[in-house]
Homo-oligomer: A and B are copies of this chain.
Amino acid sequence: MAARARFPFDERRRRLLEIGLAAFSSRPYDEVSMDQLAAAAGVSKGLLYHYFPTKRDFYREVLVAAVEDMRRLTEPDPALPPPEQLRMGLTAFLDYARDHAAGFSALLRGGIGSDPEIARVVADFRRAVLERVLRALGVVGPGPELQLALRAWLGFAEAAALVWVEEGGVDRDLVGRLIARALHAALREVAVPMPVEDWY
């Protein structure tokens, strides 16, 4: 065998997560085996378990890293006026979905979403996105109706992005406008004063 290559912890971990993302993006969870992953990383299976306690934890960490990546790349500039923040945030969101199609589809579509720990990662991400929106709106204590409306709107945005990425054939900015309009409609229905009409 090749000589033992000893890597610093963080670097090795990062490499393993990259390989995990590639694997879990292209095949369903249960069709990816730890042996395969280890082989793809040129490493023994035991090492995988040295870095991640279980397969599920590994998957979760892959998801966390991907979501963190997305959150970072779509972060709006707080110095901009709110309408511009929304516009740029949506554009960045759609661009990210387009450029990371496989991972975006596989992971956000819920690779194994019925697991509570996994679902929580996605739920946390969604909450973070909605907090951005609430901050831009200047709302502090959103009631249950507003929370539901915003969460539903996020479902709209995610579905729009998924279809746009998978089917194609639609202008990106049209999709962005569509999503912004949906936000307006959702907010109006729960009586949140916001002149989003001219926001996009």
Contact = CB atoms under 8 A, between A and B. Distances in A.
Contact residue range for chain A? 35 or more
A199 to B, nearest CB: 13
A155 B167 CA distance: 16
A113 interface: yes
A151 B163 CA distance: 7
Tallying the copies of this chain within the complex gives 2
A170 B144 CA distance: 7
Given A114-B27, A182-B182, A160 B152 contact: yes
Contacts of A167: 144, 147-148
Interface string A5-38: 0000000000000000000100111110000000
Contacts of A189: 177-178, 181-182
B149 A178 contact: yes
A190 interface: yes
Given A30-B30, A145-B170, A160-B152, A182 B186 contact: yes
Contact of A114 (B29, B148, B155, B160): B29
A125 interface: no
Contact of A115 (B24, B28, B118, B181): B28
Contacts of A158: 155, 159
Given A113-B113, A156-B159, 8 more contacts: A31-B115, A148-B167, A148-B178, A152-B157, A153-B159, A155-B156, A178-B186, A184-B185
The 3 closest A-B pairs by CB, nearest first: A155-B159, A185-B185, A152-B160
10 contacts: A31-B115, A111-B113, A144-B167, A144-B169, A147-B163, A148-B170, A155-B155, A155-B156, A178-B190, A182-B185
